[in-house]
Amino acid sequence: MVRKFWEQEETVHSPLPLTDEEQACEDHYVRTHSRLPDGPYMVRLPFKNAPPNLSGTRRIAVRMLQSMERKTDNDPELHKLYSEFMQEYEDLGHMARVLPAAEELDEAQRCYLPHHGVLKKTNDTVKIRVVFNGSARLGSGDSLNSHLLTGPNLLPALTDVLLRWRRHRYVIIADIQKMYRQISMHPSDRTYQRILWRLKNSPELLEMLLTTVTYGLASSPFQAIRTMRQLAKDERHAYPRAASILEEETYVDDVLSGADPKTTQGISSTN
């Protein structure tokens, strides 16, 4: 197995040519991404054509919210976890309440994302991930995801990542925390990332804008990994080893690396 890995490492592989849509998504990223003064990147939604008319998504989002509220009313633990997740989302600045100026936009310029919670139980703990559904369809069959470019698959081969990891005498396992949400969404495109939310015991229906790359949109996996690659490219001059780790020893948000800590390189990688 190890011999096959080294043989593969020595072989020069030509990347598969991109399809027209994949190339369009890459070109869109290169043309529209930017870096904010404090370091994070900002991206734009890669629409296949002009931004779509998705009026009618609010009704779907209202129905989904009401269904979720009925479920949480009968499950206090789920309600607590859901509310804490949403509060943290807002506290971190990853969503913001709609301002009056944004209310003036025509409904055709808005898209509301239904959301639901997915529970993950491990030993004695229960965690929740709230998923935003960009694939929710109107009667016409349209959805936000149907209008977004998905981009090429930029993931390295998982076998290669694991075999590189096994070369190290001492290994490092790390996680890129909230990977998607480290990337800001351009303010002009946040109107397509609206959600509805209601605080407990409040009749008011809040409209929120998701301000970062959002889990559940078709373009998000490409944007997250492409931005990680862009970071590696932009900072390679200062952090060559870190750039290599991001490109070759990271699978989605899981970092599988290592080194001999007796070397300077090993110490810097660990830090």
Each residue's pLDDT expressed in tens, for the chain with a length of 271 residues: 555 555 555 554 567 799 999 999 999 999 999 999 999 999 999 999 988 999 899 999 999 999 999 998 888 889 999 999 999 999 999 999 997 665 666 788 899 999 998 888 887 888 898 999 999 999 889 999 999 999 999 988 888 888 888 888 888 899 999 999 999 999 999 999 999 999 887 888 999 999 999 999 999 999 999 999 999 999 999 999 999 999 988 899 988 898 876 655 554 555 5
Domain boundaries, the chain: 25-259
Hey, what CATH topology would domain 25-259 get?
HIV Type 1 Reverse Transcriptase; Chain A, domain 1 (3.10.10)
Please tell me what DSSP assigns to residue 47.
B
Element (H, E) at 121: strand 115-122
Give the predicted TM-score (pTM) of the model.
0.86
Give the C-alpha distances (Å, rounded to integers) separating 155 from 223, 225, 227, 229, 253.
Answer: 12, 8, 12, 10, 11
